Structure 1
Amino acid sequence: MKVLHIIPSISPKLGGPTQVVLNLVMALREEGIDVEIATTNDDGDRLLDVPLWQRVEYQGLPVWFFPRFAQIKDFLPSFSFTRWLWRNIRNYDILDNHYLFSYLPSCAAIIAQWQRVPYTTRTMGQLAPWALAQSKLRKQIYTYLIERRNLDQAAAIHCTSIGEKEDVINFGLKPPKIVLPLGVIPPQIIPNAQQELRNKYGLSPNIPIILFLSRLHYKKRPDLLIESLTELSKHHQDFYLLMAGSGEEKYVQSLLNLVTSLHLEDKVVFVGFVSGYAKDLLLQGADLFVLPTYSENFGIALAEAMVSGLPIITTSGAQIADEITFAEAGLIIDGDINSLAQAIADLLNNPQLRLKMGENGRKYALEKYSWTTIAKQLARAYQGIIEQ
């Protein structure tokens, strides 16, 4: 069996989606499946420094990079990808398309239909009501002209949660739905992570640390988190907030300005994009993880926080909110300042509850979010599709 995963970009700046495809492909290859990735050289405002039009080893995985058409950055078209896939699609038994409303997966689905190669599609939360409401008219036109047929012709649609499956059903799609969560890799334990984290950022001992670790984007609502902290300050609640992640310069500057206007400069630290040891240190050294998102199809950052033993505060917009509730691993809130501030205060003032929720989440994530288990199940799904 030979599989091609297609995704518009694997820029490290995209965070979760990039981690997912790389870790998923690695797990599939460890199961003996011959898997490759096709993508563009997109890296946000820049381009990845990688060889083009050839199979290369990227982070230990076989990847085909194609040049993006720079004038249309959001859609990420690559016309050389089109020519290459038309000539080479028959080398693969099945395609696995990541994302909607983007050139590479849309183009791949159309070519697969023409050449009768089966494909699956990961919607990545883009059929959630909040997501569909963004650029609504453009998505409605795109759906009418291209996307609905591509989705209806898929051999299966891969959903990462029951909530995402419900969104797919509500969209009226016909193909079979595969519900498989995403995975996380358990971190290497860092002894004395809390003390090391405080030393690194010059934080006082015994003051709890709130962690936001995600892309700095209005969808994730870091502004709501910052604003909610003023309520804590009014009640003389001690805390630090570490904001980890990168984003568009203009938006990041607006967050910095917000912190200044609310006089929270001594309580909020922007640490930028982190990975590897620095990321593990944040996840193991903090006391509480908060992601007040509008919408999250799975939320790989939430799963990483769980497997690291951090209690969670998030909204019902995260489609694993029900799993967090079931595992008793955190609090699910309404997306407003008062409910967020109250939830943070409740956990900051109850260290025992934080520890219990963190341990519950860690056990649940280790059992349910194993890449090995997910890869085995996905490989069986591929095989069933190919046999049909």
Structure 2
Amino acid sequence: MKVLHIIPSVASVRGGPSQAVVEAVKALINAGVDAEIATTNDNGDDLLYVPIGKLVEYKQVPVQFFRRFSPKVNSIREFAFSQDLTTWLWQNVSQYDLLHVHAIFSYPSTIAMTIARLQRVPYIVRPLGQLCEWSLQQSYQKKQLYLKLIERANLNYSKCIHFTSEQEQQEAAPLKLRSPSFVVPHGLYIPHIIPNARQRLRQQLNLPDDEPIILFLSRLHAKKGLDYLIPALSKLLDYHFTFVIAGSGDADYESKIKSLVIAHGLQNRTHFTGFVKGEKKDLLLQGSDLFALTSHSENFGVAVLEALAAGIPAIITPGVALANMVTQENLGYVAEFDITAIATSIKQALDAPQEAKQRGDRARKFISENYTWDCIASKLISVYTEIKKIPTFTALN
């Protein structure tokens, strides 16, 4: 089976969903599927320095990059228009048995679905949380118009819609889309244990050996709820802790967050690391005591999964789709989306560090048994196999 994955960007700055596509394709190839990626050279405000218009190996998977239109106007640049990608898709899409399209409301994904419809090539679509209630409320009128004119038809013509959590699936239900859907979560590779990670991280940050570290590791964006987490931490200034913010985002938003830290008296106990990856990221995850993501909305929460796999408990809010799992398996703490409630959950973890550690140990074991990429690839192959049995498109109104 030959499967083409389409996504606007695989750049690390685009966060977990983009990285998940690379890892999923790697696992599919290891399982015997002929899979590759077509994308743009988007890298946030910049462009990736990669070969253009030919199949290359990128992070151990075959990827074709196409030029992204890069005007100075941010909203147009973010749409990731690519004429080269359009031409290539039109000429080559029929060579594939199936397209797996990631993202909606973005040019590469929209044009891929449209061309697949016109050439009667089957495709499935993973909306990356864009059909969740919070996401649809952002730029509401623009998205409603986009849905009405283009994207609803693209979604309805898909063989299936791929959600990564039951919560994401449920939030999309009011749209009454006609395509069937399935849930297959993200996976991850369980990181190797770093010896003395706690001690090494505290030495790196020049902290006492017994200093609790609370970690936020994610893209810096308004939906991530730092405007709730930071005020919550300010209610706990009687406690010893260090707050680490690992991630990058829009320069104006980063400045806003730094001002918020100062306004709440946390400047002397907050470290900004910027974007991290590799061993530095693993050290942060394994050396911290608590992971916090108090997000408005997460259709999955890759960073949460990474933290749990590293063996630290997570404090999250109900908008994070992994909340039910965290509650049911007792892997951390789920606080209502409220400053006081978030502060109370953090206090609970700080007051009972041994109990928090036990939740973290339980989390690592649970994730390693249920969320490896080999397991996820096996589930996707089952879906692909079933889709091959579905007859060719019939028209949908």
Distance (whole Å) between structure 2 residues aligned to residue 134 and residue 281 of structure 1:
35
The match for 2:384 among 368, 382, 385 is 382
1:327 aligns with 329
2:344 is aligned with 1:342: yes
1:114 aligns with 118
Shift of the alpha carbon at 1:387?
A: 3.0
Higher alpha-carbon deviation: 347-356 or 23-32: 347-356
2:105 is aligned with 1:101: yes
Distance (whole Å) between structure 1 residues aligned to residue 285 and residue 43 of structure 2:
25
Distance (whole Å) between structure 2 residues aligned to residue 184 and residue 314 of structure 1:
19
Counting only pairs closer than 5 Å after superposition, residues 75-224 of structure 1 correspond to structure 2 as 75-224=79-228
Q: Secondary structure at the match of 2:236?
A: helix
Higher alpha-carbon deviation: 177-186 or 357-366: 357-366
Distance (whole Å) between structure 2 residues aligned to residue 29 and residue 168 of structure 1:
30
1:357 aligns with 359
Distance (whole Å) between structure 2 residues aligned to residue 258 and residue 143 of structure 1:
36
Q: What letter matches 2:45 in structure 1? A: D
2:315 aligns with 313
Q: What letter matches 1:65 in structure 2? A: F
2:15 is aligned with 1:11: no
Q: What letter matches 2:53 in structure 1? A: W
Shift of the alpha carbon at 1:184?
A: 1.3
Distance (whole Å) between structure 2 residues aligned to residue 165 and residue 292 of structure 1:
21
Q: What letter matches 2:201 in structure 1? A: L
Deviations 1:231-277 (Å, cap 9, x if unpaired)?
001xx111100110111111111111222222322210001111110
> Is the CA contact 2:105–2:151 (under 8 Å) kept in the aligned structure 1?
yes
Q: What letter matches 1:345 in structure 2? A: K
2:31 aligns with 31
1:254 aligns with 256
Q: Secondary structure at the match of 1:232?
A: coil
Distance (whole Å) between structure 1 residues aligned to residue 372 and residue 77 of structure 2:
34
Counting only pairs closer than 5 Å after superposition, residues 37-52 of structure 1 correspond to structure 2 as 37-52=37-52
Q: Secondary structure at the match of 2:4?
A: strand
Distance (whole Å) between structure 1 residues aligned to residue 172 and residue 99 of structure 2:
20
1:279 aligns with 281
Which blocks of at least 5 consecutive residues in structure 2 are unaligned?
A: 391-397
Deviations 1:5-27 (Å, cap 9, x if unpaired)?
00001111112012101100000
Aligned length: 386
Q: What letter matches 2:155 in structure 1? A: L
2:66 aligns with 66
Distance (whole Å) between structure 2 residues aligned to residue 12 and residue 165 of structure 1:
26
2:369 is aligned with 1:367: yes
Shift of the alpha carbon at 1:306?
A: 0.8
Shift of the alpha carbon at 1:340?
A: 0.8
Q: What letter matches 1:358 in structure 2? A: G
Higher alpha-carbon deviation: 374-383 or 35-44: 374-383
Distance (whole Å) between structure 2 residues aligned to residue 257 and residue 179 of structure 1:
40
> Is the CA contact 2:218–2:303 (under 8 Å) kept in the aligned structure 1?
yes
Runs (4+) of structure 1 moved beyond 4 Å?
none
Distance (whole Å) between structure 2 residues aligned to residue 238 and residue 337 of structure 1:
19
Higher alpha-carbon deviation: 40-49 or 198-207: 198-207
Report the TM-score, using the length of structure 2 for normalisation: 0.95
Shift of the alpha carbon at 1:362?
A: 1.4
Deviations 1:200-239 (Å, cap 9, x if unpaired)?
1111221211000000111101232122111001xx1111
Distance (whole Å) between structure 2 residues aligned to residue 184 and residue 53 of structure 1:
29
Distance (whole Å) between structure 1 residues aligned to residue 144 and residue 162 of structure 2:
22
1:293 aligns with 295
Higher alpha-carbon deviation: 256-265 or 376-385: 256-265
Distance (whole Å) between structure 2 residues aligned to residue 264 and residue 111 of structure 1:
51
Q: What letter matches 1:348 in structure 2? A: L
Distance (whole Å) between structure 2 residues aligned to residue 161 and residue 261 of structure 1:
36
> Is the CA contact 2:11–2:19 (under 8 Å) kept in the aligned structure 1?
no
Q: What letter matches 2:292 in structure 1? A: V
Q: Secondary structure at the match of 2:291?
A: strand
Which blocks of at least 5 consecutive residues in structure 1 are unaligned?
A: none
2:50 is aligned with 1:55: no
Shift of the alpha carbon at 1:355?
A: 1.4
Q: Secondary structure at the match of 1:266?
A: helix
